Amino acid sequence: MDLTKTALGIELGSTRIKAVLIDENHIPIASGSHDWENKLVNGIWTYSMEDIHAGLRACYADLKRDVREKFGVTLTTVGALGVSAMMHGYLPFDRDGNQLAEFRTWRNTITGQAAEELTGLLGFNIPQRWSIAHLYQAILNGEEHLPRLDYLTTLAGYIHWRLTGKKVMGVGEASGMFPIAADGRDFDQTMVEQFDALIAPRGYSWKLRDVLPRVLSAGEDAGSLTPEGAAFLDPDGDLLPGAPVAPCEGDAGTGMAATNSVRVRTGNVSAGTSDFAMVVVDRPLGVHREIDMVTTPAGAPVAMVHCNNCTSDINAWVNLLAEFAEAIGAKVDRGELFTLLFRKALEGDPDCGGLLSYNYFSGEGVTDLDEGRPLFLRAPDARLTLANFMRAHILSALATLKIGLDILTRQEKVPIDRLYGHGGFFKTPEVGQRMLSAAAGVPVSVMETAGEGGPYGMALLAAYLIWRDEGETLEDYLDHKVFASAGSATLMAEPGDVAGFSAFLERYQRALPVEKLATEVF
């Protein structure tokens, strides 16, 4: 095995850190993973730095084990590598590299004042989870660490910094920190100056560009693995320095790469702990609180509908049902139980028989809620069956996404030819696909590699760094070299499913005051 003819992608997702190693044919040949979970500490959704370091190393060690078992060699190098992670959030450091505040993840909804003021100032939607919203909220709160701020980054940016020593970032990830200029290559300078003028009276010694990473497009030089970076990733000492490292990206950008959704009028939906739709557009859109404007890894504009909550409530109910099964002596495999229950949902009424669910473990920006309370409701005459119960939770996982997609397609008249689905929500064949198609009203495709998800997309971006032809765009590279013969399954929901989802959503939106009241009294 020639290890120099491989590319490695590592992604730190919300519930799993995963590594995927691909060969010259862009086929996954080995993988590793590590499960983890965020914690709510003093009202902040966070991961400790100890968990970040230990989880990343555990994932890489699992990859090494897989390579050794499959090929009988020790993983000592790769042709190129790249790291991605959940987008957004707040990771501040001082000039000596000391962390100044807890890692505030995308899941937090604690920056409402900052997001509202910045949106008004910039004429550009700034969601609560964006890094600039967290920074400005910290300024509004008068947090004591701000005079010592030297570098503000994201989780992916932090890991890239540790691996290469470079304070740089891929444009797709950077677009979730601060707005990107129309040319898709850098932060918007006019908006940077507006922000600097806004905070000038505070008297900080730094300006915004002093503390933000440098922006790079896919394929640009983002440094190489240093001796310190190699030791950081592989404490065993087997990994050698020197491999080129692609610009780090966010999970949105890697999802686009993994599903070949980087051209105009293409789109994808990533669905797991959170879910988000990415639709590549060819023109500026109006300012909508529910729509983020970000970019592809190559800098093309993307309309993003991001929802903080997706499968967490489903997971909780499946765990409860598994506990019941074990209590009556019918212990079942959790994976098999998920498949059984998801398939059961196909037998339910299109509108879920009058059942209603809110899957809000945390706040939800699309529906303007700063906190969440998972709720299950039913009218006395509703049809409470297992099939309807599961279908209600699955539709609930997509409901806020549909609200945002409706703004894109109905208000902004954005055409979507097809959506590609990836993530854990689509593991059970047909079910997630059919439900998403019912929500969006367009065909949904799932590729054979969809189960690999974001880390596979990051591996493709690392491959593009070293294997592209001169002048070859990311769009052409993916079309011609990666996905030209890739297998996929496409499904369009039945008209009854589409109508049923619309009826469910009408009930869902009508009852939203119940969810809001629950956050106030419980």
Give domain limits for the chain: 1-87+244-259+452-490, 312-400+495-521
User: Would you tell me how many other CB atoms lie within 10 Å of the CB of residue 494?
Assistant: 12
pLDDT at 245: 98
pLDDT at 487: 78
Which tens digit of pLDDT belongs to each residue from 36-72?
Answer: 999 999 999 999 999 999 999 999 999 999 999 999 9
Q: What percent of the chain has pLDDT over 70?
A: 99
The residue-averaged pLDDT of 143-153 equals 98
CA dihedral defined by 231, 232, 236, 241, rounded to 10 degrees? -30
Mean pLDDT of 344-359: 97
Query: What per-residue confidence (pLDDT) applies to 177?
Result: 98
Sign of CA dihedral 98, 458, 32, 319: positive
- Residue 317, Cα to own-chain centre: how many angstroms? 23
Q: What is the pLDDT confidence band of residue 400, given thresholds at 50, 70 and 90?
A: very high
Length of the chain: 522
Evaluate if residue 418 carries a pLDDT over 70: yes
- The whole-number pLDDT of residue 43 equals 92
Query: How high is the pLDDT of residue 485?
Result: 81
Instruction: Check residues 270 and 131 and name the one with the higher pLDDT.
Output: 131
* pLDDT range class, residue 450, cuts 50, 70, 90: low
Contacts (Cβ under 8 Å, ≥6 apart) of 53: 232
Q: Please check whether residue 312 is in contact with residue 359, taking contact to mean a CB–CB distance below 8 angstroms.
A: yes
Place of tokens 């304070």: 167
Answer whether residue 101 shows pLDDT above 70.
yes
In angstroms, the CA 425 to CA 441 distance is 18
Q: Which of these, 185, 222, 182, 188, lies nearest to 208 by C-alpha position?
A: 188
Q: Taking residues 265-290, what's their average pLDDT?
A: 88
What pLDDT was estimated at residue 449?
66
Q: 11: closest CA among 32, 29, 28?
A: 32
**What does the pLDDT read at residue 55?**
98
pTM: 0.84
Which of the four pLDDT bands, split at 50, 70 and 90, describes residue 451?
Answer: low
User: Are 401 and 275 in contact, with CB atoms under 8 Å apart?
Assistant: yes
- Please report which helix (H) or strand (E) contains residue 62, including its range: helix 49-71
Measured in Å, how far apart are the chain's first and last C-alpha atoms? 58
- Run of H or E residues at 210: helix 208-211
Q: In sequence order, what DSSP letters do the residues of 115-184 get, joined into one string?
A: HHHHHHHHTS---TTSHHHHHHHHHHTT-TTGGG--EEE-HHHHHHHHHHS--EEEHHHHTTTSPBPTTS
Interatomic CA distance for residues 515 and 366, integer angstroms: 14
User: Using an 8 Å Cβ cutoff, are 128 and 106 in contact?
Assistant: no
The model's pLDDT over 464-516, given as tens digits with 9 standing for 90+, comes to 999 999 999 999 999 999 998 877 889 999 999 999 999 999 999 999 999 99
Three-class secondary structure of residue 22 per DSSP: strand
Q: For the domain 1-87+244-259+452-490, what is the CATH code?
A: 3.30.420
Q: Which two structure tokens, joined as six digits, stand for 206?
A: 């730094």
Would you say residue 116 has pLDDT above 90?
A: yes
